[in-house]
Amino acid sequence: VGIKKKSMEMLIEGDTTLLFQLEPGMEIGEVVIRSGIEREELNSSAISASRISVAAIETLPSLQAETDVMKMMEYLPGVQLGSEASTGIVVRGGSPEQNLILLDGVHIYISNHAFGLFSVFNSDAIKKLTLIKGGFPARYGGRLSSVIDVRMKEGDSRKLRGVVDIGTIASKFTLEGPIQKNSSSFLLSARRTYIDLLLPKKFRQKEDIPGFFFHDINAKVNSRLGNKDRIYLSFYLGHDRFFEEERYTEEDGGLFDNEYNSADWGNINLLARWNHVYSKRLFSNLSVIYSSYKLDIDLNEEVGNPFSVHTESVL
């Protein structure tokens, strides 16, 4: 390889020594590689759209076996990390709150866990991710900077399989398989951190006892009803909880002050979608969506002595 071919004819009648002077070079024709991506983007209605597959997501470096889907977008042009230790991204000079984030078409209000350290998207349950940085289609509204459309897996309709990941910060499992072979399938994925369970005992025995954990659940069912109808049901539940308990007692045991504070927040999404094909040129999608974000703050304080107790609680 890399040397020009040389051939010659000879008649050998005895011991003979021949010296060949070979010249470097290639004897193949010109190779031209062309890409049609730019032309396809110019002719496509989806302008400035980047699609990320699950195969690309799996190649990401992970934090303690926890791959962050949102971090993948930081490698795309026009996208920057909003701040350190945060899943918020800045697209073309915008701000994180100007990004519309959708999970199977349902609005996600808060896209991170653990005060920004993790995203709400479990990589084991994600099929693909599309980032639109400009020229938003009319069906997307309410945001100025970008649209992040995340789609969940639909489950394996041929065989049952599962994955379990155990890390030092969080563990998760995914189970998918057929409900009716080649006709309907399901997907169930869940994860939870156990930071609150791994605190050292000496730390937990102090007067100030903080704790934190989060968990989320992804579930999806899809069923094919003939050749023209298909039904999808998807569900997402995410929950974060931070709590802190403080105790103060005088040495003589007379006065005490106990405080227990907690904060709970998270998203709940539910989607039912019916897809029907009327003809080769006409189809419809009918969706019923429930989307909610909840934040509860609970502050409790108990002050007193053995003879009188005063309790305050704020929700």
pLDDT, tens only, 181-221: 888 999 999 999 887 776 655 444 445 667 788 999 999 99
More confident residue, 176 or 249: 176
* Strand (E) or helix (H) holding 203: helix 201-204
pLDDT on residue 203? 47
- Paired residues of 223 in beta bridges: 184, 231
CA max distance for the chain: 124
For residue 68, pLDDT beyond 60? yes
Alpha-carbon distance of 85 to 170, in angstroms, equals 17
Average pLDDT value for residue range 60-72: 66
Alpha-carbon distance of 52 to 41, in angstroms, equals 16
Q: For a pLDDT cut of 90, what percent of the chain falls above it?
A: 20
Alpha-carbon distance of 221 to 235, in angstroms, equals 9
Structure tokens at 220: 């999806």
Comparing CA positions, the residue from 82, 88, 48 lying closest to residue 68 is 88
pLDDT tier at 134, thresholds 50, 70, 90:
confident
Average pLDDT value for residue range 85-111: 81
Residue count of the chain: 315
Cβ contacts of 225 within 8 Å, gap of 6 or more: 231
Q: For residue 87, what is the DSSP state?
A: -
pLDDT, tens only, 29-44: 788 887 766 666 565 5
Our CA angle for 229, 233, 238, nearest 5°, is 160
Give all strands (DSSP E) within the chain, no chain letters: 49-53, 79-81, 89-91, 99-103, 106-107, 112-113, 118-119, 126-132, 146-152, 161-166, 170-180, 184-193, 208-225, 229-249, 256-279, 282-305, 308-314
Alpha-carbon distance of 220 to 204, in angstroms, equals 39
Q: Which of 66-70, 100-104, 114-118, 217-221 has the lowest mean pLDDT?
A: 66-70
Contact of 164 with 142, CB cutoff 8 Å: no
For residue 280, pLDDT beyond 90? no
